[in-house]
Chains A and B, each alone.
Chain A
Amino acid sequence: MGVSPRSADDSPVHRLNPLTKLVFAVTVTVSAFALTMTWWPLLLFCAAVLPMVIASGTLRKFFPMLLALWVPIALTVYVIQGFFYPETSRVVAEIGPLELKYEGLVFATQTALRIMVLMGGFFLLLLTTRPGALMSAMTQRGMSPKTVYVVSAALQIAPALAGRAQGILHAQQARGLPVKGLRGRVRALVPMAGPLILGALTDVGDRAVAMETRGFGTSRRPTFLTEVPDTAAQRVARTVMGLCALTAVVANVFGVLR
């Protein structure tokens, strides 16, 4: 049985035009990376992303998804930046030959928080939007179907691969493959990664042929089975968010709000 990450609930956030949610995700991401105050991304997450997640009613799906992906990345960032920060800086602690540096930890905190905002914005989009609706909305705004497909595929690849990985894990475990403990996990790497990667590559080839045979590559402008609703208020909101993102980039370029 296929499991979609999209919540079955309907909420005002679900009903927003997918482009509005996409622009929201891009704006919070650009803002988080453009402005360099350390705690700015956390403020952005709490003030913008979190209220949207709460309004969408997807909190119970959002946080497990976010933590499962963000925590390993954040830990990696802390280890790399904390111990190997390139600039000479204050040493907080020493572990054997390794030195934990203060500036490295600050930079790691900022980077991890920025990644949290990025993931938060796009997970919100993923959990509240049908991929088909996003594709239709973008194509209706005049974007090339090929570009739209790339964006949509990028958003769907994580849950699709996770589902496939689960199937592969079960198939290998059924053949007695131990996957518990560090040694088991290392041993499971090749039997897991091989079918996963090769399967994904085969799927890409098959899907490309299937889409081409159904006229995806045609130069004619496609028609739409369903119109994705949009409102004047949302168009204004998207413009405002775009301006906010632009302002953040300009502020970064001119060194304002540091």
Chain B
Amino acid sequence: MSYKGEAAHPSAPTVAKVRMRFAKRGRARFSSHRDVARAMEWALRRAGVPVSLSQGFSPHPRLSWIGAAPTGAASEAEFVEIGLTRDLEPEALGREVGAVLPEGVVVLDVVRAGPGALADRIDGSAWRIEMPGVDPTDLRAAVAALLAREAVEVERMTKNGPRMLDVRSALVALDVMEPLGERHPDDERTSDDPGPTRPDASTDRRTHARSAVCGTLSTVVRHTTPVVRPDDVVSALRTVAGLEPPVPVKATRTAQGRLDDTGVLLDPLEVDRDPIGR
């Protein structure tokens, strides 16, 4: 027996690390960062992935999270770094974990971690913000008004009370996307809800909703402190142009990475895939 208060076994050392890009789609967008983190820990256990544990009295799995999307926002570009007690093929790990993750959390890419910190390769995010019921013409005018300003401060409620942040200075790009045809290319309802067949009334409602106006923004923001979120961009449009979305907007992070000189985001896992460079 080990002596009082001492863990019976020291934790096995971290011998390898992988980095994973995953998506939060469909109804999973309503999960918080804590929810996703818990689900990921359980999925790793279920899949039998030997995650290394921190040392000490109450060990926890070594997962490092980077810039989680807020509750309510979908994402195609969430990142986590996972410490392993055994080197594993990244592809096999991604496949096995992906098979047991909850609906809507989808593994997109797994690589062995090369040198350097992942956090150093991420300083910006690209978002698509769908605004049902907002006329694209009105949206264009609001965007022009926002871009014309030097600074646009908005208020956000934080745990420590209201806080002001400048949205304008974080904006690298802000555009109104051209209306897409009948159906959005990644309309989340197609993939995540195999649900029952819908009676006519409900089908009508959907058709109607799809044909109704919807302004869609595409934006790239630089990660300032605190990080500007899609809701802050919408607040900024309200501030400069009085734009009021009639229903909650739907935001999807499409990319995260290093901003190059032209405002394009570079995939942070590319360096690991090809550590020597071409």
Q: Is B a genuine binding partner of A?
A: no
A residues neighboring B (CB under 8 Å):
none
A-binding residues in B (CB < 8 A): none
